[in-house]
Copies of this chain bind each other. A is one copy, B any other.
Amino acid sequence: MNALDISGSDGSATQQAYRRLRHLIVTGDLKPGEKLKIEVLRKRLDTGASPIREALSLLTSDKLVDRLDQRGFRTAEVSAENFQEILLLRRTLEDLALRESIANATQDWEENVVLAHHRMVKAKGGDDFEELHKGFHMALIANAPSPILLQFCSQLYDLNIRYRYLAGSGLNYQLRDVDEEHASILQAAVARDADMASERLFKHYQLTGAYLAGLWGEGSALNAELFGNKN
């Protein structure tokens, strides 16, 4: 790669393709269940077939893409059951991780959490809010001495935001006082109060879940996305 290449492209062609495809899927640009033809993607991303293929393999690990034995790839289907499962697992696993993280609290960890929160608040409404929001949640649990658990949480987080985008992004997401919820979790975590932090995180998820589940019930746009076009 040329050293002068300015585009946000670090890493190999595979990595680029991975990030771009991931974004297309998470944001719903590539629809659930849509067939992913190598040739089409190759042209769209202007790269070779090998990087595409490898990127799709990587996305398979993230459960964003399904591989059909000799019939290529397609984006993972979505369903109410899948959504509920993700929500439930997140609550369980992040609670677990949060408790372990606080149990092993250090000053470094605490400062990172504060920073992550600050950055998230500052970026409210911005383009990279989503990323920073994840950053905050991951920072909270980052001190759990359990890399595998953390990776599960990260993966579930990504699966979840896909549903958020399918539900019409987080546009009117701020109806609730999410800021206050975040702040109170931060405060409990910094105070090393695992029970309180856990309780507040749990409530945060409960509300988020109710919010998104609500979009389901009312003949919403989400249903169209979910069951409309499966070309």
Contact = CB atoms under 8 A, between A and B. Distances in A.
Interface in A53-93: 53-54, 57-58, 60-61, 63, 69-70, 81, 85-86, 88-89, 92
A149 B63 CA distance: 13
A92 B85 contact: no
Given A15-B69, A57-B57, A81 B148 contact: no
A145 B53 CA distance: 31
A191 to B, nearest CB: 26
Contact of A61 (B50, B61, B148): B61
30 contacts: A11-B69, A11-B70, A12-B69, A12-B70, A15-B69, A50-B50, A53-B54, A54-B54, A54-B57, A57-B57, A57-B58, A58-B60, A58-B61, A60-B61, A61-B61, A63-B148, A81-B145, A85-B145, A85-B146, A85-B147, A85-B148, A85-B149, A86-B148, A88-B146, A89-B146, A89-B148, A89-B149, A92-B96, A148-B156, A152-B152
Give the most central of A50, A85, A148, A156: most B CB within 10 Å: A148
Q: Tell me if A's interface is mostly helix, strand, loop or mixed.
A: helix
A54 to B, nearest CB: 6
